[in-house]
């Protein structure tokens, strides 16, 4: 099927809900990846040694990811109980305040600065958890079913460039605290754009019936078929955060293990990975539209990223630039992120859709501490390369099985309820 979009189609794709969701996700990704970019310089400026930077950096990252996990449940439930827009407002205010506070950490005297950093990243994680799911749900319910995949890819493609801008902001500002202040300021500016966005019509249609159960998180666990489907939604996304949270975040450690002589900067690895992810997310919607299948698009992109993981670990990379290039490859392959969140939204009825779309990606992010535990467990005995390979093998096994067995949702009518 050839891709033919009319002028009317483009008008819908470039409507205010899509544009605002894209800009919201841009700020979301900027703030989410900022700690990964400034992890080393910010912790060194607080007086930590190189060894402490590695250990405490992982601890702070875990705090942020656990915040995302818990925040995903909080905002997901609120998205179905109180509306998609209420989540967008609440989450932005939370993470914007937390990021501004992160910029003030060097001035904190009333408690240990590292401890403050952990809890502020936790709070930021809680706030950041609401943006993508609510935005994707709103866009999915606002667009015709034949344009959903393309619309959500536009949201993610624009949004994921936030990591690139974050890296350049840190470099150009010359001070990691300024980058946090800019992130907080962008969040508050985003609130002004939200004012013109209207609530999803599908959601408003069910708010008048008090007998309809909305946002019941436990509904994913009290029905076997729904539970399995929910777990598969999460499983599809696991390889994405293996590539970012293990390979890119700790690329400096992999660089040393590979014998790369010049220092490998995690900030650059993250930036190039997100350049690839942004391009991949733009492409994923069009690939899905062309193949008339969400599952086929995700499978081929996942396979492409798996080949990139093999190259990252076993191709004998000997320069930092080559490692960054492979990170871009990994990003391009894992650029099915928006497609995977869309699949999560499309699997469930209107009364559970925001809960699914918000909790699913944050369950994946929340799985990163578990992957770090596996990675850290095997590292002393097997070495960093084999530890990465074992962790990756587990992540991709889950991802491929979930993708191949989950129901297809391309062209599915979303105007229905879960009972």
Q: What is the CA radius of gyration of the chain?
A: 20
Give dist(CA 344, CA 157) in Å, integer: 18
Using one digit for the tens of pLDDT, what is the confidence trace for 150-191?
A: 887 788 778 778 878 888 888 888 889 999 999 899 888 887
Give this prediction's pTM: 0.76
Q: Quick one: average pLDDT of 349-362?
A: 81
pLDDT given for residue 1 in this prediction = 43
Which of 116-120, 313-317, 344-348, 353-357 has the lowest average pLDDT? 353-357
Contact 183, 311 (CB under 8 A): no
Residue 24 has pLDDT above 90, yes or no: no
Domains of the chain and any CATH numbers: 14-198+217-405 (1.20.1250.20)
Give dist(CA 341, CA 357) in Å, integer: 6
Contact 43, 112 (CB under 8 A): no
Using one digit for the tens of pLDDT, what is the confidence trace for 45-54?
A: 998 888 888 8
Residue 275 has pLDDT above 90, yes or no: no
Chain-wide mean pLDDT for the chain? 85
Q: Quick one: average pLDDT of 1-21?
A: 76
CA angle 211, 212, 218 (to 5 degrees): 120
DSSP letters, 176-198, are: HHHHHHHHHHHHHHHHHHHTTPP
Contact 63, 118 (CB under 8 A): yes
Which of 138-142, 178-182, 240-244, 318-322 has the lowest average pLDDT? 138-142
pLDDT given for residue 69 in this prediction = 85
Give dist(CA 353, CA 77) in Å, integer: 10
Ramachandran region of residue 249, left (φ > 0), alpha (ψ -120 to 50) or beta? alpha
Give dist(CA 359, CA 75) in Å, integer: 8
Contacts of 55 (CB under 8 A, 6+ apart): none
Q: Give 262's DSSP letter.
A: S
Residue 306 has pLDDT above 90, yes or no: yes
Which of 144-153, 219-228, 332-341, 402-411 has the lowest average pLDDT? 144-153
């Amino acid at each position: 099927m050839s891709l033919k979009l009319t002028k009317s189609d483009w008008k819908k794709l470039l409507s205010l809900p899509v544009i605002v969701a894209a800009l919201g996700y841009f700020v979301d990704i900027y703030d989410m990846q900022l700690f990964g970019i400034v992890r080393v310089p910010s912790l060194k400026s607080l007086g930590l040694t190189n060894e402490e930077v590695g250990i405490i950096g992982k601890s702070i990252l875990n705090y942020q990811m656990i915040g995302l996990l818990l925040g995903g449940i909080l905002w997901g439930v609120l998205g179905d109980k109180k509306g998609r827009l209420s989540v967008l407002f609440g989450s932005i205010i939370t993470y914007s305040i937390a990021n501004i506070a992160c910029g003030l950490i060097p001035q904190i005297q009333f408690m240990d600065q590292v401890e403050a950093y952990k809890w502020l990243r936790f709070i930021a994680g809680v706030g950041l958890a609401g943006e993508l799911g609510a935005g994707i749900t709103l866009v999915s319910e606002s667009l015709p079913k034949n344009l959903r995949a393309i619309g959500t890819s536009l949201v993610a493609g624009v949004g994921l460039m936030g990591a690139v801008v974050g890296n350049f902001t840190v470099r150009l500002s010359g001070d990691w605290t300024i980058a946090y202040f800019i992130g907080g300021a962008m969040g508050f500016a985003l609130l002004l754009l939200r004012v013109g966005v209207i609530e999803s019509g599908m959601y408003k249609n069910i708010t008048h019936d008090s007998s309809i159960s909305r946002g019941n998180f436990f509904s994913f666990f009290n029905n076997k078929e729904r539970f399995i489907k929910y777990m598969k939604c999460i499983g599809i996304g696991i390889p994405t955060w293996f590539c970012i949270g293990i390979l890119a975040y700790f690329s400096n450690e992999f660089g040393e293990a590979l014998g790369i002589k010049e220092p490998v900067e995690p900030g650059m690895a993250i930036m190039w990975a997100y350049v690839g992810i942004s391009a991949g997310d733009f492409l994923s919607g069009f690939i899905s539209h062309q193949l008339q299948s969400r599952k086929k698009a995700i499978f081929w992109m996942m396979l492409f990223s798996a080949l990139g993981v093999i190259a990252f670990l076993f191709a004998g990379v000997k320069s930092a630039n080559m490692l960054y290039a492979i990170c871009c490859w990994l990003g391009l392959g894992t650029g099915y992120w928006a497609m995977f969140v869309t699949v999560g939204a499309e699997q469930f009825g209107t009364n559970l859709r925001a809960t699914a779309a918000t909790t699913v990606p944050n369950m994946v992010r929340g799985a990163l501490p578990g992957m770090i535990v596996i990675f850290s467990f095997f590292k002393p005995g097997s070495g960093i390369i084999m530890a990465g390979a074992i962790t990756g093998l587990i992540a991709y096994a889950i991802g491929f099985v979930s993708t191949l067995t989950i129901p297809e949702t391309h062209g599915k009518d979303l105007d229905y309820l879960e009972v």
